[in-house]
Structure 1
Amino acid sequence: MATEDAVREALATVNDPEINRPITELGMVKSVDIGADGAVAVTVYLTVSGCPMRETITQRVTDAVSRVDGVTRVDVTLDVMSDEQRKELANALRGGQTEREVPFAKPGSLTRVYAVASGKGGVGKSSVTVNLAAAMAADGLKVGVVDADIYGHSVPRMLGADGRPTQVENMIMPPSANGVKVISIGMFTPGNAPVVWRGPMLHRALQQFLADVYWGDLDVLLLDLPPGTGDIAISVAQLVPNAEILVVTTPQQAAAEVAERAGSIAVQTHQKIVGVVENMSGLPCPHCGEMVDVFGTGGGQLVADGLTRTTGTNVPVLGNIPIDVRLREGGDEGRPVVLTDPDSPAGAALRAIAGKLGGRQRGLSGLSLGITPKNKF
């Protein structure tokens, strides 16, 4: 016959789909009752009424408990946490911190933060961001994306994230799509309504996305910045000073000149430029395979060389992404090409860039190791 200990041990393997931690650890298991005939009744607390993941939680609990020896039937009942329970949960998720703080800005954070920037709009910056995130997640990394382009938000559609965030007290649970956690102002606005805000509002929105969203332990966080060097770029430098800038451009020299200016903000904000990505690097002829340089050549290298001179550090070209209709189709359908057609020219180029970024480790330079020597010399 099944025992309560065995059932609770099985429940400890069930992760909340939004928080990604065991429901037993989160205090979500209200009760476990086992009948003489082996029927098990489990009551689970939802964080909020109308939780969008209620069916997923029910199915995960049912599957886990059904595998326990002696269980003949599983009945799952859903309840809702009280205000006090939600406060306790939010406090636990914040690690006991009561003040708003950006976890990625802490000296001990091991999350690699990449701010994806461009000089102009229309160079494919968001497409690059989404596909890099999906590729790194497919490689087993824990990845998050902040759609920091408040006016021109497009990441949810391109990533296939159609869910809405759940809020626990003042903490926001980001939806996940294709293995990537994502947050965007588009998840909070009705329909296709425009966002008409001034600078201070933009800063507060970005701060909330970074400090009030429960990201968990991420390996990589990507920020899809708006084009240019405006308020958001400055706010990123203030809120996440350790963020590294990834510049996206096209081969066209006019676009490259503007992209170089966008990357040069790193000198003023004391940030590192991790590299340059050249998008739309030629069109493979569908008949003969010869590359047609629709937008010219050399823009990416031009940006990299200019930023190397400006910053005094080596800024490499991380990759060149050819024009590929499958990349555009994937963005429209919310199915990143790195997942649907990873060996296509664009998919392979994006996966190679993701491998370079995802494989980098945060250095310990400047980090406090928490060690105090007993003897001073």
Structure 2
Amino acid sequence: MTAETPDPLLLAALATVQDPELRRPITELGMVESARIIGSVARVKVLLTIAACPLRSTIVADVTAAASTVPAVDSVQVEVGAMSPQQRATLRAGLKHRSVPFGDPGSLTRVIAVASGKGGVGKSSLTANLACAMAADGLRVGIIDADVHGFSIPGLMGITQAPTRVDEMILPPVAHGVKVISIGMFVKGNVPVIWRGPMLHRALEQFLTDVHFGDLDVLLLDLPPGTGDIAISVAQLLPGSELLVITTPQSAAAQVAERAGSIAAQTGQKVLGVVENMSWLQLPDGTRMEPFGSGGGAELSARLSTTLGTEVRLLGSIALDPVLREGGDSGLPVVLGHPQAPAAQEIVRIARGLARRPRGLSGLKLPVTPV
């Protein structure tokens, strides 16, 4: 073996290391420039996508751990460099070739738009928790925080880092196994985003085209409340997306939420169902109090079924639980921080019901022609 020839055992070990942002093996991404074993020392040179990669230390630690598993290796030396513009261009071309266009009729990614009629019903909290519950079950999940004016997903997911840019491509941060993008990652402090319709549409379009999510099983969109510009843009850019409508028990909230679900009659989207949040509060003596009344979820389900001419089921009712709020404040969703809480268990049940549809090729046209 010459000095320039990579060691096959060492390469095989490094193939188990994934880039934390791209979620692909570093050997497949062209990030391993050299991998040799000299005596009992493994010497690896890794090329980062950009010199200022925020996850540099994570990659070095993972490479060191993987190389240490190779027999006869007593120590590991990792040299870190950066890709050249040509190498980054090759990387981008490969990623674009393999990525799944979510708006394509042949996409295998299930796109779920989480909608509500009004704010304050817990839509964003449920989006974050549903995503984490699905990821914990082994699915590849992404979130687009489409509520540009009222973004909250980064805080709910505990994300403080900015996305990494590889030239024109954006790599979304990963939290709790979920890839996340939000306009909140591009503004400083708590500065408001003051945009009108065309800018909102362009922001969503850029999230869908310039952000590299890779191959996802489920993509969740946290929509702003109501039936405004973003709801219309989602229907245009992602015609195969499905709506999940969130409400609270009071009748007034259900009436407003009906409008958010009824948009499907005009856009051709499917309504997956209704989730009633803040349904009841368990008191210390074990009894349940209904501070916001009762029946709103069932009422909304019945109304949408009549309006759309198809069954829209009430998928679940989630308790008003302090630990759910605490999880949102701390950036650790309740399904992970307090999995035994009634609210967490109900969210997990709903998430598994939504993810039950298998990911496959049934009903899709394949690009083959009989000879």
Give the shorter-chain TM-score range: over 0.9
Query: What is the 5 A alignment of 1:88-127?
Result: 88-95=90-97, 103-127=101-125
1:198 maps to 196
Q: Deviations over 1:164-210 (max 9, x none)?
A: 11111211110011111100000000111110111111111101111
2:66 maps to 64
SS at match of 1:91: helix
| Corresponding pairs, count | 368
SS at match of 2:159: coil
1:238 maps to 236
2:82 aligned partner, one-letter code: V
Query: What is the 5 A alignment of 1:218-257?
Result: 218-257=216-255
2:21 aligned partner, one-letter code: E
* CA apart distance, 1:8: 1.2
* CA apart distance, 1:364: 5.9
Q: Deviations over 1:55-81 (max 9, x none)?
A: 110011101111101112101011011
> In the alignment, is the contact (CA less than 8 A) between 1:280 and 1:323 conserved in 2?
yes
SS at match of 1:103: coil
Query: What is the 5 A alignment of 1:1-377?
Result: 4-35=7-38, 37-95=39-97, 103-286=101-284, 288-361=285-358, 367-372=364-369
> In the alignment, is the contact (CA less than 8 A) between 2:129 and 2:347 conserved in 1?
yes
Distance across 2 between alignment mates of 1:61 and 1:371: 41
Distance across 1 between alignment mates of 2:194 and 2:349: 38
Distance across 2 between alignment mates of 1:14 and 1:343: 33
Structure 1 gap ranges (5+): none
> In the alignment, is the contact (CA less than 8 A) between 1:174 and 1:181 conserved in 2?
yes
2:250 aligned partner, one-letter code: Q
Distance across 2 between alignment mates of 1:373 and 1:73: 56
Distance across 2 between alignment mates of 1:42 and 1:87: 23
* CA apart distance, 1:365: 7.1
Change (3 A) 1:238 1:362: farther
1:150 aligned partner, one-letter code: V
Distance across 1 between alignment mates of 2:331 and 2:182: 15
Distance across 2 between alignment mates of 1:26 and 1:103: 20
* CA apart distance, 1:107: 2.0
Distance across 2 between alignment mates of 1:5 and 1:327: 49
Distance across 2 between alignment mates of 1:126 and 1:284: 23
> In the alignment, is the contact (CA less than 8 A) between 1:112 and 1:361 conserved in 2?
no
* CA apart distance, 1:366: 5.9
Distance across 2 between alignment mates of 1:260 and 1:336: 27
* CA apart distance, 1:360: 1.9
> In the alignment, is the contact (CA less than 8 A) between 2:131 and 2:220 conserved in 1?
yes
The two structures have a TM-score, normalised by structure 2, of 0.96
SS at match of 1:57: helix
* CA apart distance, 1:373: 5.2
> In the alignment, is the contact (CA less than 8 A) between 1:280 and 1:295 conserved in 2?
yes
SS at match of 1:95: helix
Which deviates more, 362-371 or 243-252? Answer: 362-371
Change (3 A) 1:12 1:363: closer
Q: What's the C-alpha RMSD, in Å, of the aligned pairs? A: 1.7
Distance across 2 between alignment mates of 1:84 and 1:209: 24
Change (3 A) 1:29 1:130: same
User: Percent of pairs identical after alignment?
Assistant: 60
Change (3 A) 1:82 1:130: same
SS at match of 1:79: strand
* CA apart distance, 1:367: 2.7
2:344 aligned partner, one-letter code: G
2:291 aligned partner, one-letter code: V
> In the alignment, is the contact (CA less than 8 A) between 1:66 and 1:73 conserved in 2?
yes
Change (3 A) 1:327 1:89: same
* CA apart distance, 1:39: 1.1
1:336 aligned partner, one-letter code: P
Change (3 A) 1:363 1:238: farther
Which deviates more, 221-230 or 8-17? Answer: 8-17
Q: Deviations over 1:202-229 (max 9, x none)?
A: 1111011111111111111100000000
